[in-house]
């Protein structure tokens, strides 16, 4: 995929007169964005696709360039657990129950930093995020495997494997334990950011 200078993603970043000063911007996700949580069991694989309306009002955020890192404040996704569709009612029920959606109805993903390929090209290679599931918070480095310019938008893609047990969750074992679900879940995303 074609890499671009993310001044499209972070407006005026290249025009920051003093690197120590914070700058402000706006970001808006398009409903073309895709996000899924994928897992495996000893019987089959499953994919729980987000059915959220991601196109909301633009988010105001601030950023601060420090060497090869962009510190970001104000960019977050709040995803309702009940709006993920795993394709089958039984898997939807187990997915929601496992993530304790009645007590903790949202998965929150907060962008903290973007790590750049280098200071000259200003191309992000990694996103440092905080993920909150079932009230438990974990920090992750998420490799960005796609960064592509489109007409009036930018596509940012990546994936990260998480463990349910990191969030104090027990993988489900339906059918009296005959089906064993793996502890690992992969969060996969292709976010279309409108310019």
> Which domains, ranges and CATH numbers included, belong to the chain?
13-194 (2.40.128.110)
pLDDT computed for residue 85 by the predictor: 97
Q: Which residue has the higher pLDDT, 26 or 102?
A: 102
Count other C-beta atoms under 10 Å from residue 164's C-beta.
20
- Angle at 6 (CA atoms; ends 24, 140), nearest 5 degrees: 85
Report pTM: 0.84
Using the 8-state DSSP alphabet, how is residue 90 labeled? H
Give the mean model confidence (pLDDT) for residues 112-140.
89
Q: Evaluate whether 156 touches 27 at the Cβ level (below 8 Å).
A: no
Q: Evaluate whether 120 touches 67 at the Cβ level (below 8 Å).
A: no
Q: Which residue has the higher pLDDT, 116 or 174?
A: 116
Give the mean model confidence (pLDDT) for residues 174-187.
84
- The continuous run of DSSP H or E covering 95 comes out as helix 89-98
74 has pLDDT over 80:
yes
Give the mean model confidence (pLDDT) for residues 42-51.
91
Give residue 145's pLDDT band: very low, low, confident or very high (50, 70, 90). Answer: confident
Give residue 175's pLDDT band: very low, low, confident or very high (50, 70, 90). Answer: low
pLDDT computed for residue 41 by the predictor: 86
């Amino acid at each position: 995929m074609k890499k671009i200078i993310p001044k499209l993603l972070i407006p005026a970043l290249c025009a920051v007169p003093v690197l120590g000063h914070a700058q402000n911007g706006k970001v808006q996700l398009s409903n073309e964005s895709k996000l899924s949580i994928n897992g495996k069991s000893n019987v089959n694989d499953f994919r729980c696709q987000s059915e959220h309306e991601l196109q909301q009002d633009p988010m105001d955020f601030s950023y601060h360039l420090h060497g090869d890192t962009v510190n970001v404040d104000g960019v977050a996704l709040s995803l309702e657990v009940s709006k993920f569709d795993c394709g089958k009612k039984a898997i939807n029920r187990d997915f929601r129950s496992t993530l304790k959606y009645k007590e903790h109805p949202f998965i929150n993903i907060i962008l903290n930093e973007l790590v750049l390929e280098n200071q000259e090209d200003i191309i992000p290679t990694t996103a440092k995020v905080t993920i909150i599931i079932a009230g438990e918070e974990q920090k992750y480095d998420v490799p960005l495997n796609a960064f592509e310019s489109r007409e009036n938008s930018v596509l940012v893609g990546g994936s990260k494997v998480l463990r349910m047990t990191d969030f104090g969750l027990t993988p489900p074992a339906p059918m009296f334990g005959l089906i064993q679900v793996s502890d690992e879940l992969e969060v996969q995303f292709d976010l279309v950011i409108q310019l």
